[in-house]
A and B are shown apart, each in its own frame.
Chain A
Amino acid sequence: MNDLLLKIVTRMNKRLAITVLGIAVCIMYLVGTSILIQGLDVGTAEVGSLTQKGFYIVFDENTLSESRLDSSEIDRWPGVYSTGTMLPVTVEVDGGATLDTFLMVVDDDDNLIGLGEVQLSTEVLPGIDLDIPRGSSINLTWAQGSMPTRATQDFNPYSSQIFSDDMILASRSLGEIIQPDIIGKVSFVILPAENYEAIAIARDAGYHVKQSVGMLDFFEQGVNQVEADLWGLVGISAVIIILMVYSILSIEIQFRTPEIRIIKYLGLGPRDVLCLFLIQAAYLGLLGGLIGASLGIVIANSLTSVAPMFGLKSMIYPAVSFTSLGIPLALSVGASIIGGFYPAYKASCTSVRGMREVL
């Protein structure tokens, strides 16, 4: 009896071959598009690996000035790093005009951002854009209200390519006088790109970890956005696949009504018939899925290979992964079972009364 059932499940004729082909086209669509999307991702990463990454900046709120990380936690991070603390302040120069800016306290002992040599005590170092003359007397007030703190400007103003030139650099002790809440806290941590361990710790802790060269983040996140859009479209298409498998298997079950009557006449119950046809639906789905997956890989590679012949530059490196193969294959089998359920149920209800006509 097992031989009979196996033969029914694995039997192949022209109609079944067309059914498998139909499923294969659907899966070719899904696998092909998944590979192209994954390929866009790989291409972006490839371009990213060739570009300088600069350093990473770690913070915990939406903005640096609001961010407050625990210094004692940061001290346990491995490797080289620098830290900084930002405070919004109001500046009064020589008792005259006031302006709103940020006070930045930087601990850059390893000179990651070029401030390793700067030693400040009660003096401040304003940015060149603030246009504060050397020797000026400066009153600093925390933007959210505090007693003014006096400082002097005894250095030439700074000009940096790393951060804006409209802030005021100060020593940590001065910063803590203006806003005591920053004691034991820092706003951000600068990590060199090679400090993988600390970068991983920061990511695991749920902090924002940004590359200082934003173009890489821009493209990675941009591709992710495109990916999300296209997966949405693939999802819509999956509905059509279910519909198609349902239609094709309905036809197939209808064609095989005599065969169903025979096996029921031989003693199989409705539940056995239901299982039998569900297994066959899954088998057809798997077979169609495997053929479709192979065709999808070929189509995706062909499209990217042919594109340069039409003057299209591309950074797609077709990539086969568990996601691009596993999900469409699972969908193929799942959709086939869903699509095949109603026809299989109808088959299980087939009466054996017509047997005389069949034979």
Chain B
Amino acid sequence: MLLKKEAFLWITLCSILFCASIPVLVGVSLGPTSIFSSPDIVVLTQSSRDTPLDVNLAYGLGEQDFITNVSPEIYAFTSTVNAHTGVEEPILVRGVLPESFLELERGYVFSGNYYSNESFILLGEVLSERLGYGVGDRMTITGSLNPAFFEVTVTGIYRAETSVDDEMLVPLDLSRKMAGLTTNSILSIRIRTTDYGALNSYLIQNILNVDIGGGDSGTGTNGGTTDGNTSYEQEVAQDLALKYFKPSHLNETSDSFISTFIQKGSGSIGIVITGFIVLNAVLIFMGISSIFLRGLIERRHDLGVLSAIGASKLNIQILLFKDILLMSLLATGIGVTVGVATAYFISESNLLLAFGHVVRPIINLDLVLIMVAASMAIAVSSGVLGTAWQLSKAPQDLIHGRDVLQPEGDMDGLVSLLEVSS
């Protein structure tokens, strides 16, 4: 092998750092959307703050054959004191009907209980462990958009094994107070259905006929006219856009704070994360380039000898390329394996937090393949670049290190140095 084994260690380290950081960064960027939705759940949300949804729409949906689960919800963003550390931490409080919510999330209460739709405070398992609160413990929380403060007693701990395990569930009435909403108002309805077409038709029909509050303006989803025109259908479809994880599909003028949170939150985090991924790749490229270059310079004498005994430039290039390919392949293999294991460890140990939720690094086949391709591309391209630069020297220069002694203008430099010293 022409390149030293030390270079392999450094390249592997770079590959590990690259492959461990990508799943975490992607996990952070997908955080805001994963809080509100998942691939098989449709989220119906208000189209503007003036036209909130009515809880009766959720009750009506619950009676339809094509609906598997329906959960009316209110989100309140607040903070509470971590009992372990005494430091304030952000916490997402979700106003729900407990049975409906747990059915939708396929979760269950494993400690304590909920006693009725009006009397319960349930903590997600992960949140309970992180903040150090159990059944019977009291917590102080404040309002979300409405100035208020509450002392609540935890009645149960639930487990759903999704990001909702990081949340607090409270009765709809309490969350309305926290969010400053009027009676019967809710912020979203999350639905699991067997027939998307039937759901869409039902929503178009029933939102037209049901007065959901603030509906006399003649605009917006809940205050639309009864002609069932295309633009109105588009508005309803827009309300369903969250299902597809495309926040940009939401109405840009909407001042619903859920859509604003998702758009701005995921947009801002997306920018930072994209910046990180691009700069990370550039940095790893530079790092590996410098390692290969150093390795090649250390072996320039051997390269010169090979060239002098008759090996053509192409032969040496093929030889080096094989080295680079083998090193890159092994480094990528180890890098991806250790990187994914590190990401898994981070996920399991709840080390990283964002907006009160544990960051779950994304580990799937697509991402692993992308990481393998990117890591290989970075390593091979940086190696090839260094090889091309080194092999541009004449063999005798490489053997005698004359590229070191007499690179462009360096003799002038030596002469000028001697002139100054004399």
Tell me the A residues contacting B by CB distance below 8 Å: 1, 3-4, 7-8, 11, 13-15, 22, 25-26, 28-29, 32-33, 36-37, 40, 43, 51-52, 54-55, 57, 59, 62-66, 86, 102, 161-164, 188, 208, 210-215, 217-219, 221-222, 225-226, 228-230, 232-233, 236-237, 239-241, 243-244, 247-248, 250-251, 254-255, 257-259, 262-263, 266, 299-300, 303-304, 307, 311-316, 358
Q: Is the CB of B404 within 8 A of A254?
A: yes
Shortest beta-carbon distance, A210 to chain B, in Å?
5
Across the interface, name the chain A residue whose C-beta is closest to B18: A240
Whether B276 lies near A214 (C-beta < 8 A) is: no
- Which residues does chain A contribute within 8 Å of B263, judged by CB atoms? 313
From B13, B268, B352, B359, contact of A316 by CB (8 A): B268
Cβ contacts under 8 Å, B290 to chain A: 22, 244, 247-248, 251
* Per-residue A-contact encoding for B126-139, CB less than 8 Å = 1, 0 else: 00000000000011
Asked whether A240 lies within 8 Å of B142 as measured between CB atoms, the reply is: no
Q: Judging by beta carbons under 8 Å apart, are A255 and B407 in contact?
A: yes
Q: Tell me whether A161 and B146 are in contact (CB under 8 A).
A: yes
Contacting A55 at CB < 8 Å: which of B78, B147, B276, B279? Answer: B147
Max chain B C-beta neighbours (<10 A), residue from A26, A240, A311? A240
Please give the number of chain B residues whose Cβ is less than 8 angstroms from any Cβ of chain A in the complex. Answer: 85
In whole angstroms, what is the CA distance A72 to B304 when docked? 86
> Known contacts A40-B272, A161-B177: does B17 contact A240 (CB below 8 Å)?
yes
Mark each residue of chain B from 114 to 155: 1 if its CB lies under 8 Å from any CB of chain A, else 0.
Answer: 000000000000000000000000111111111111111000
* Given A164-B177, A214-B142, A218-B77, CB of A226 within 8 Å of CB of B147: no
- Considering only CB atoms, which chain A residue lies closest to B142 in the complex? A214
Question: Is residue B421 within 8 Å, beta carbon to beta carbon, of the partner chain?
Answer: yes
How many A-B residue pairs lie within 8 Å, measured between CB atoms? 256
Query: Quick check: B83 and A62 within 8 Å, CB to CB?
Result: yes
Q: How far is the CA of A3 from the CA of B420 in the complex (A)?
A: 7
Q: Mark B276-299, 1 if CB is under 8 A from A, else 0.
A: 100110111011001101100110
List the B residue with the shortest CB-CB distance to A25.
Answer: B286
The listed residue (B270, B356, B407, B413) touching A218 by CB distance below 8 A is: B356
Bound-state CA distance A1–B421 (Å) is 6
Q: How far is the CA of A99 from the CA of B79 in the complex (A)?
A: 28
Q: Which 10 A-B pairs have the closest CB atoms?
A: A54-B147, A214-B78, A222-B355, A218-B77, A212-B147, A247-B290, A214-B142, A312-B267, A217-B79, A311-B248
Check B276 against A64 for contact (C-beta < 8 Å): no
Q: Is the CB of A11 within 8 A of B413?
A: yes
Contact A26-B272, Cβ < 8 Å, known A222-B354, A247-B294: no
CB-based contact B264/A314 at 8 Å: yes
The residues of A that contact B92 with a CB separation of less than 8 Å are 218
B143 lies within 8 A of A212 (CB): yes
Tell me if B10 and A29 are in contact (CB < 8 A): no
Complex interface: chain B residues within 8 A of A239 (CB) = 13, 17
Asked if A54 contacts B143 (CB within 8 A), the reply is yes
Q: 4 new A-B pairs (CB below 8 Å) besides A222-B354, A236-B17?
A: A14-B407, A86-B151, A163-B148, A247-B287
Q: List 25 A-B contacts (CB under 8 A).
A: A7-B420, A13-B409, A25-B286, A40-B269, A55-B147, A64-B149, A210-B88, A211-B142, A213-B145, A214-B141, A214-B142, A218-B90, A218-B355, A219-B355, A222-B90, A229-B352, A229-B353, A229-B359, A233-B21, A236-B20, A240-B17, A259-B413, A299-B275, A307-B270, A314-B264
Q: Are B17 and A237 in contact (CB under 8 A)?
A: yes
How many angstroms from the CA of A266 to the CA of B86 in the assembled complex?
A: 64
B149 touches A57 (CB 8 A): yes
Which single member of B79, B356, B417 contacts A262 (CB below 8 Å)? Answer: B417
- Closest chain A residue to B294, Cβ basis: A247
- Smallest CB–CB gap between B302 and chain A, Å? 15
With A212-B142, A222-B90 as contacts: A29 and B282 at CB distance below 8 Å? yes
Q: How far is the CB of B325 from chain A (nearest CB, A)?
A: 21
Q: Which listed residue, B142, B408, B409, touches A213 by the CB 8 Å rule?
A: B142
B376 within 8 A of A: no
**CB interface residues, B 56-101, toward A, < 8 Å:** 76-79, 81, 83, 86, 88-92
Asked if B294 contacts A250 (CB within 8 A), the reply is yes
A13 touches B293 (CB 8 A): no
Could you tell me the distance between the alpha carbons of A201 and B353 in the complex, rounded to whole angstroms? 30
Give bound CA distance, A187 to B282, whole Å: 55
Say yes or no for B410: interface residue by CB 8 A criterion.
Answer: yes
Does B340 make an interface contact (CB < 8 A)? no
Separation of A25 and B279 alpha carbons in the complex (Å)? 9
Which of A102, A162, A208, A225 meets B148, CB within 8 Å? A162
Q: In the complex, which residues of chain A have a beta carbon less than 8 angstroms from the beta carbon of B405?
A: 258, 358
| Residues A244 and B286 in contact in the complex (CB < 8 Å), given A64-B149, A213-B143 | yes
CB-CB under 8 A for A208 and B88, given A222-B356, A229-B28, A251-B293: yes
A51, A222, A225, A254 interface centre (most CB from chain B within 10 Å)? A222
The contact of A233 among B24, B79, B180, by CB within 8 Å, is B24
When distances are taken between beta carbons in the complex, the residues of chain B under 8 Å from A218 are 77-79, 90-92, 144, 355-356
Minimum distance in angstroms from A227 CB to a CB of chain B: 10
**B157 interface residue (CB < 8 Å to A):** no
| Chain B residues within an 8 Å CB radius of A258 | 404-405, 414
Contact indicator A314/B271 (Cβ below 8 Å): yes
B274 at the interface (CB under 8 A from A): yes
Task: Tell me the smallest distance from the CB of A235 to a CB of chain B, in Å.
Answer: 11
A236 to B279, CA, bound (A): 13
- Min CB distance A220 to B, Å, is 8
